[in-house]
Structure 1
Amino acid sequence: MAENDTTPYPAVDKPDFPAIEQRILSRWDADGTFQQSIDNRPADDEYVFYDGPPFANGLPHHGHLLTGYVKDVVPRYHTMKGRRVDRRFGWDCHGLPAEMESEKQLGVSGRVAITEYGIEKFNDFCRESVLEYTDVWQDTVTRQARWVDFENDYKTMDIDYMESVMWAFKQLWDKGLIYQDHKVMPYSWGAETPLSNFEIRLDDATRPRQDPAITVAFDLTPTDGDPGPMRILAWTTTPWTLPSNLALAVGPDIDYAVMELDGTFYVLGEAVAGGYEKQLEGATHHATIAGADLVGRTYTPLFPFFAERDDLDAFRVLPGDFVDTSEGTGIVHIAPGFGEDDQRLGQEAGLGMV
């Protein structure tokens, strides 16, 4: 240490982290460290790890880096425990991302245009374009210090891979683990196909749409104890589904106001009744009832399409755990098949499908 130096610590150059990273990666590559970690371990003590494949026609982003580190921790742990871990990388070649990118490159869009272009030609182009960024992926994953086998990678478009999926499905079928049911899914009118939840999160995958929220009055079937004709006010943000209405949902623990106007008694959430002063001008508060007291009551359907369908067991008031009074009337129109909550509630209540 120099006499005029004011610090007791020796002078140290600032570390060049990228250079350190490259030296380590170069040494691993030269020594074949990853391959030795496989070859030096017994084949009869194997831990199988197949990397959940990314879309091969998109560039890696920070989300891939985060999950990539997680995927590296598990195989490294088992490698350190002395097990043999082949880490085959994979590529997801199916789904809308591959098709959408090919449509952009070809200048075609939609089923009709693709059909005119030629299905076989379009599929061939997808197969070529889907692996466009594999080199970028390999560089990025390697820079992460992940140990991955790219030479023996798998692709979901490989015949043997697709056959393996069919084989696995057959095993589930043979064990009685496959069942048929209904599920609400987003649908693309352009692609004419259902979409996965992941696909609707893709950039520019959806378009904003604004529909009016409306309040609809349903006539309750008269029952003993009613003060007079009763109408229950339901709120919906999807008025285009009203022809398929099969039920109404209330919150069992929510209080509902019964408002009398010109001899008719209207039911809506007590907490939101103030928001309907204009529509119920001149009405008087008759009573307060619990949502649980409304459950099981029946009503007259708005439209006659399914009124005679006794097999549907429909047009009933059901309890819904998702109903609240943050907006609307505290009473929700239910059309199974048009929403996840509607479908779940309809199935739980044994409603038929229309």
Structure 2
Amino acid sequence: MFKGVDSKAKFPEIETQVLSFWKENSIFEKSIESRRGRPLYSFNDGPPTANGSPGIHHILSRLFKDIPCRYKTMRGFCVPRKAGWDTHGLPVELEVEHSLGLKSKKEIEEYGVAEFNQRCRESVSKYIGQWEAMVERIGHWIDMKDPYVTLANDYIESGWWAIKTLWDQDLIYRGYRTTPHCPRCGTSLSSHEVALGYEDDTEDPSVYIKFRITQEALQSAAPALREAVGLDGKRTYLLAWTTTPWTLPGNTALAVAQEADYAVMQGEQDFLIMAAALVETVGLPGYR
């Protein structure tokens, strides 16, 4: 016979009792040990970044991770589940910078890099404790006693081992790519970090930039250009327009279209070379 159910059940108390029973009797661990030798379905947690307290939205993502593992367990699989903590990267550093009131990398150096790194370790340790409490409270079964932690030397060494192995197999190459860059942070940004700082109502200014042509370059330029600007010492510039002015510090070249027509605009102090089709659109007071 089943015990009677109180019509006025206190569900928070029942939840606490169930959680205590699971913990005291190692139910999660037994669910794995009792299935050793069965088909394996392993789960390694995509690690949350330990740079802040968990929020209500994290509960949903935890459930998405927990449900498939429970389902596979009930289907007879052995399902080890390893927790992980992302304790590296820009989010952690920014959290500590804000807490210490540091506003630049120079201030970090003045504060002391070693001391700053220690504050980062203390910060992630604090937040890991909060995450562990949340995970246990919502009944998410995962091995938090033996997690992988990205700041641990053995984890870092395993990363270098993987890179070395790929290098030995000629599976790594050196290449170049354009990435978002934060001048204040002094680092490239991931797409996730860019999205975190993006505002829909950010103004997107455009600017006109003059690129000076040296006299040496003019000497070897096409005869028509030399004739148009002369060689009287007046400076000559190529005029460019961009909607991404933040890319200018990394600019290394200016492209011209081989089939396009260009106009030479003369001013009192200099010459401007620009696309002929855009002379009227741009409008340059003082130039003809």
TM range (shorter): 0.5 to 0.7
What is the distance in 1 between the residues matched to 2:263 and 2:138? Answer: 60
Match of 2:154 in 1: 160
What does 1:100-249 align with in structure 2 at a 5 Å threshold?
100-202=94-196, 208-212=202-206, 236-238=242-244, 244-246=253-255
Q: Residue 146 of structure 1 aligns to which amino acid in structure 2?
A: H
What is the distance in 2 between the residues matched to 1:70 and 1:107? Answer: 37
Further displaced range: 99-108 or 44-53? 44-53
CA change 1:27–1:240 in 2 (3 A) is closer
What is the distance in 1 between the residues matched to 2:262 and 2:59? Answer: 53
The CA deviation string for residues 228-267 of structure 1, in whole angstroms up to 9 with x for no partner, is: xxxxxx985236768745378xxxxxxxxxxxxxxxxxxx
Given the alignment, which residue of 89, 93, 97 partners 2:91?
97
CA change 1:85–1:141 in 2 (3 A) is same
For the pair 1:69 / 2:63, whether they are aligned, the reply is yes
The CA deviation string for residues 44-90 of structure 1, in whole angstroms up to 9 with x for no partner, is: 75433211111113111233222211211232233223333222211
What is the distance in 2 between the residues matched to 1:50 and 1:185? Answer: 29
Residue 51 of structure 1 contacts residue 90 of structure 1 at CA under 8 Å; is this kept in 2?
Answer: yes
Match of 1:41 in 2: 35
Residue 185 of structure 1 contacts residue 195 of structure 1 at CA under 8 Å; is this kept in 2?
Answer: yes
Residue 57 of structure 1 contacts residue 132 of structure 1 at CA under 8 Å; is this kept in 2?
Answer: no
Give how far 1:186 is off.
1.4
State the SS of the aligned residue for 2:61: helix
The CA deviation string for residues 166-221 of structure 1, in whole angstroms up to 9 with x for no partner, is: 1222232233332333322211111211111122233689994541378xxxxxxx
Match of 1:231 in 2: none
CA change 1:235–1:118 in 2 (3 A) is closer
State the SS of the aligned residue for 1:133: helix
What is the distance in 2 between the residues matched to 1:136 and 1:196? Answer: 26
Match of 1:299 in 2: 260
TM-score (norm. length: structure 2): 0.67
Residue 72 of structure 2 contacts residue 79 of structure 2 at CA under 8 Å; is this kept in 1?
Answer: yes
Q: Residue 68 of structure 1 aligns to which amino acid in structure 2?
A: R
Residue 57 of structure 1 contacts residue 131 of structure 1 at CA under 8 Å; is this kept in 2?
Answer: no
State the SS of the aligned residue for 1:131: helix
What is the distance in 2 between the residues matched to 1:193 and 1:239? Answer: 18
CA change 1:171–1:241 in 2 (3 A) is closer
CA change 1:162–1:44 in 2 (3 A) is farther
What is the distance in 2 between the residues matched to 1:160 and 1:302? Answer: 63
TM-score (norm. length: structure 1): 0.55
What is the distance in 2 between the residues matched to 1:302 and 1:176? Answer: 51
Q: Residue 72 of structure 2 aligns to which amino acid in structure 1?
A: H
CA change 1:170–1:298 in 2 (3 A) is farther
Q: Residue 260 of structure 2 aligns to which amino acid in structure 1?
A: Y
State the SS of the aligned residue for 2:191: coil
Q: Residue 16 of structure 2 aligns to which amino acid in structure 1?
A: Q
What is the distance in 2 between the residues matched to 1:33 and 1:17? Answer: 21
Give how far 1:159 is off.
0.2
The CA deviation string for residues 137-169 of structure 1, in whole angstroms up to 9 with x for no partner, is: 112112222101111122100000011111222
State the SS of the aligned residue for 2:125: coil
What is the distance in 2 between the residues matched to 1:112 and 1:302? Answer: 46
What is the distance in 2 between the residues matched to 1:240 and 1:156? Answer: 33
- Give me the CA root mean square deviation: 3.5
What is the distance in 2 between the residues matched to 1:203 and 1:111? Answer: 19
Q: How many residues align?
A: 228
